[in-house]
């Protein structure tokens, strides 16, 4: 049976939306700096749009990224709950670059359990201080034939998968092919871009049927 590994932040949880709410309150809101713009910018560059250029905000963002409280009340992205219930039997695990500390694991598992089918959660081992797209991709590659598909929002992870020779299906949530083309010249034939869950849900059902 085809199995899939599913990313959490900005794939299932509206993490950029929460970042926007917190940062705009503290550092001021700016026209054009919207949650979707922040989500796309992060997915394409690994950087937090606008606020990440402010050193004080940058430190604050880093602390929030490792804060269990911040992650506990994230909203699920519209359409993701219904879609995951429909492909439940194919979900192998959730797959996140959140650091595997006791409190982050507890919060992540608790949050996922609240909305989605219960599955193991693969997290970034705590000895890896920096977020490495390659590490995340290697976790998938190290189980050949095991995950026939993955979903992520972060193109750095996607590119790492391609460079490591991953042969499965790669679904990207939150970006269009045009968004990707503007920044990268990579061959995208293996990638299925779905800007939202209205597109991703049917694409997954189609893939598994």
Nearer to Mg ion, 9 or 179 (CB): 9
DSSP labels, 56-103: HHHHHHHHHHT-HHHHHTPPBPTTHHHHHHHTGGGEEEEEEEEE--HH
CB of residue 195 to Mg ion, shortest distance in Å: 15
Residue bearing tokens 């990207």? 172
Distance of CA 111 to the CA centre of its chain: 15
Report the residue closest to Mg ion, judged by CB: 9
Please give the biggest Cα pair distance in the chain: 49
Task: Give min distance, CB of 93 to Mg ion, in A.
Answer: 14
Which of 96/169 has CB closer to Mg ion? 96
CA pair distance 44, 20, nearest whole angstrom: 17
Q: Smallest distance from the beta carbon of 158 to Mg ion, in angstroms?
A: 11
Using CB under 5 A as the binding rule, the residues of this chain from 136 to 175 that contact Mg ion are 153
Per-residue x/- marks for Mg ion, 2-21, CB under 5 A?
-----x-xx-----------
User: Does residue 65 bind Mg ion (CB under 5 A)?
Assistant: no
How many residues belong to the chain?
Answer: 209
Q: Distance between CA 91 and CA 118 in Å, rounded? A: 9
Residues that bind Mg ion (rule: CB under 5 A) add up to a total of: 4
> In the complex, which residues of this chain contact Mg ion (CB under 5 A)?
7, 9-10, 153
């Amino acid at each position: 049976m085809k199995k899939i590994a599913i990313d959490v932040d900005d794939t299932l949880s509206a993490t950029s939306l929460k970042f926007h709410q917190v940062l705009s309150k503290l550092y001021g809101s700016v026209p054009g700096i919207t949650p979707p713009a922040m989500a796309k910018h992060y997915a394409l560059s690994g950087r937090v749009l606008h606020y990440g250029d402010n050193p004080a905000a940058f430190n604050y963002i880093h602390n929030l990224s490792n804060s269990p409280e911040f992650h506990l009340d994230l909203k699920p992205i519209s359409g993701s709950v219904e879609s995951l219930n429909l492909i439940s039997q194919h979900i192998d695990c959730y797959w996140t670059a959140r650091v595997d500390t006791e409190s982050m694991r507890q919060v992540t598992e608790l949050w996922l359990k609240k909305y989605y089918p219960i599955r193991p959660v693969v997290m970034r081992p705590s000895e890896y201080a920096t977020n490495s797209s390659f590490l995340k991709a290697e976790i998938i590659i190290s189980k050949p034939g095991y995950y026939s598909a993955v979903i992520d929002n972060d193109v750095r992870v996607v590119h790492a998968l391609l460079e490591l020779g991953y042969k499965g299906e790669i679904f990207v949530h939150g970006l269009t092919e045009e968004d990707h083309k503007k920044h990268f010249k990579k061959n995208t034939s293996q990638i299925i871009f779905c800007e939202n869950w209205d597109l991703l849900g049917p694409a997954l059902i189609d893939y598994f049927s």
